[in-house]
Amino acid sequence: MAWDFSTDPEFQEQLDWVARFCREEVEPLELIFPYAVRMRRHDPHMRALVDPLQDQIKARGLWAIFLDEELGGPGFGQLKLALVNEILGRYGSAPAIFGCQAPDTGNMEILAAYGTEEQKERWLVPLMNQELWSAYSMTEPQGGSDPNLFVTTAVRDGGEWVINGEKWFTSAGRHADIIFVMCTNGIFIVPRDAPGVEIMDEPRHHDHIRYNEVRVPLDHLLGPEDGARVLAQRRLGGGRIHHAMRAIAQCRRAFDMMCERALSRQSHGKLIAEHQMVQEAVADSYAEINMLRLLVLWTAWTIDNSSTAEARTQIAACKYTAAKVLRDVAYRAIHIFGSLGVTDLTPLQALWNGAPAMSVMDGVDEVHKVTVARNVLKGYTPHEGFWPSDYLPSMRERARDKFAPLFAADPDLEKYADAMQRRASGRG
């Protein structure tokens, strides 16, 4: 029987290095130059700061940690990736420093799985090397993330596809070089500067984009025609679990701040850590974070030992649980910080603001709860008759049938059983 909660010493040494590297190198960089990684392509000053850090990461075999070895990554699998992401998620720029930033990771995964050799050479390799940046354009204003309501289409016209439609919440769309556009009949790779790609002024970070007679060559279709849903599920399944992995780090950051503050401030003549409601906040947060972590690690282990599709129910549970735990822990931390917690002088407001975004991106939580409930209920059947399987009178009758031969041989034992039953039912 294999049952283990330990990390092998060699990989633990890697984790310790990642934690130290992020604390000593990544955090100072993002505090002073928060967009250094994206600026490095065009700014030699940023390149001089970022490249030496990424060289260290590559030397440790930690670059693009989500990819398999044949694609240029270390091939850790999801469980080890989860342990690394528990650290990276604490720092906003750490995933990009390590070459595993969203939304590029999901786009690279479907390119690796469904792209032709020419497509991989043209787009996957530059994405891995951060020579290109990408975005994923799926949800639409009239239907959110429900593909049954999508209307964006690509029509074949000679040697080109002509794309028309409107997309909402395309994260980092205005900063991307290429956009993966989900149409009713496939996923298409569209250059952001292609004629007809119109990015609205608002919102600024999750872009509203109109595609007006956008023309791309036929080889810009990724995977099979009419294969959009299959590719989307492959992409979003991995993305959801990766978000949950990083959410653990965000929860822990809020929790660490909460505990430090509780031991540092006084109220009504004693440390606020000595007030029972503060202790309740600490205790509840500790339990919830660790329950989330075990759920995520179990899901990652399941993926490693089966597939993303097999772990679909668990991934859905991770997705909405991560959003809930982050929301609750950040909220408690804000209250323990008091007035300082509602300012932007600590990370708490950003952590708190991230919880609602996490609950709607990659499909709203309610949809994932329906998925979990439906899949779980498939493992059950209705009971027969009026009474449930655990109806105690029926259970006792079945139990007496088991002991009938003993009772026949020993009437006193049967009397003793009757007395115990009367006593259990409150009748004597």
pLDDT value for 118: 97
Is the pLDDT at 143 greater than 80? The verdict is yes
Is the pLDDT at 261 greater than 90? The verdict is yes
Q: Does CATH number 3.10.129.10 belong to domain 128-222? A: no
Is the pLDDT at 70 greater than 80? The verdict is no
CATH architecture of the domain covering 229-377? Up-down Bundle (1.20)
Percent of the chain residues past pLDDT 90, beyond the cut = 88
pLDDT value for 67: 85
Question: Minimum mean pLDDT among 65-69, 112-116, 129-133, 183-187: which range?
Answer: 65-69
Q: Which amino acid would we find at residue 40?
A: R
Please state which CATH number belongs to domain 9-102: 1.10.540.10
pLDDT (average), residues 389-396: 93
Is the pLDDT at 72 greater than 90? The verdict is no
Is the pLDDT at 69 greater than 90? The verdict is no
Q: Which tokens in the block code for residue 284?
A: 């509840």
pLDDT value for 203: 93
pLDDT value for 236: 79
- Cis preceding linkage at 203, omega within 30: yes
Question: Minimum mean pLDDT among 127-136, 272-281, 367-376, 419-428: which range?
Answer: 419-428
CA distance 421 to 161: 76
Is the pLDDT at 428 greater than 90? The verdict is no
Is the pLDDT at 26 greater than 90? The verdict is yes
Percent of the chain residues past pLDDT 70, beyond the cut = 99
Parts of the chain belonging to CATH 1.10.540.10: 9-102
pLDDT (average), residues 97-117: 93
Parts of the chain belonging to CATH 2.40.110.10: 128-222
pLDDT (average), residues 99-116: 93
Is the pLDDT at 427 greater than 90? The verdict is no
Is the pLDDT at 204 greater than 80? The verdict is yes
Is the pLDDT at 144 greater than 90? The verdict is no
Question: Minimum mean pLDDT among 57-71, 247-261, 293-307: which range?
Answer: 57-71
Q: Which tokens in the block code for residue 9?
A: 């010493």
Instruction: Tell me the per-residue pLDDT of 188-197, one tens digit each, with 9 for 90 and over.
Output: 999 999 999 9
Q: What is the mean pLDDT of the chain?
A: 94
pLDDT value for 119: 97
Is the pLDDT at 414 greater than 80? The verdict is yes
